[in-house]
Amino acid sequence: LDFVAEPGKTTAIIGSTGCGKSTLLQLIPRLYDVTEGSITLDGIDIRKYNRTAFYRLFSAVFQQFSILPVTIAEIVSETTPENIDYNKVKRCLIVAGLWNKIEQLTNGVNSQFGKTIYDDGVEFSGGEIQKLLLARAMYKNAPVMLLDEPTAALDPIAESTLYGNYNQISFQKTTVFVSHRLASTSFCDRIILIENGKICE
């Protein structure tokens, strides 16, 4: 594979199940190291960058994720309560399409997530968790956004709403968007189709 994700543009990666889309997305932020070839940032092999500093460049929504049993605000902001920008949390949840749900909770963004520890913890559906993860990625506000099938668990109306908000989600960001559906990539600047380990279109 050989392609360039242009700064400030959205590149879609599509292909059938098992063709390597998710693996490719995890190679970009160096969650795995390539065994052949190289991935470069500004012409420099990413293995030469400080790993911690390099991670700060990315906001991501992957298919595999971890959510701690803390408050909604802490999940979105990934910080301690005294450092949370609650207005920013609200903006991210609105754009992600989850604010109406959060508003109805007794403690709002201060509601505890999950029933692992708290009997009154909030449980979310698969689609709502995807929205929560998207809000978390937006809050981080990193210059590069990686989205791996971020609408897979959403119903068609929620998916359409999310795409309607996409310019707010990816404003001035370099985005790589993985999907298995061509129809969901119409908002992207460039679409790359992977087949049999190669870019075929």
Amino acid at 120: D
Measured between alpha carbons, how far is 1 from 63 in angstroms, rounded to an integer?
Answer: 22
pLDDT value, residue 17: 85
Contact indicator for 150, 169 with CB cutoff of 8 Å? no
- The SS3 assignment for 100 reads helix
pLDDT value, residue 116: 86
- The SS3 assignment for 50 reads coil
Contact indicator for 81, 71 with CB cutoff of 8 Å? yes
pLDDT value, residue 143: 94
pTM of the model as a whole: 0.86
Amino acid at 146: L
Partners of 178 in the β-ladder: 13, 148
Partners of 194 in the β-ladder: 199
Which residues of the chain are under the pLDDT cut of 50?
none
Measured between alpha carbons, how far is 130 from 128 in angstroms, rounded to an integer?
Answer: 5
Q: Taking Cα atoms as reference points, which of 45, 23, 40, 41 lies closest to residue 32?
A: 23
pLDDT value, residue 172: 78
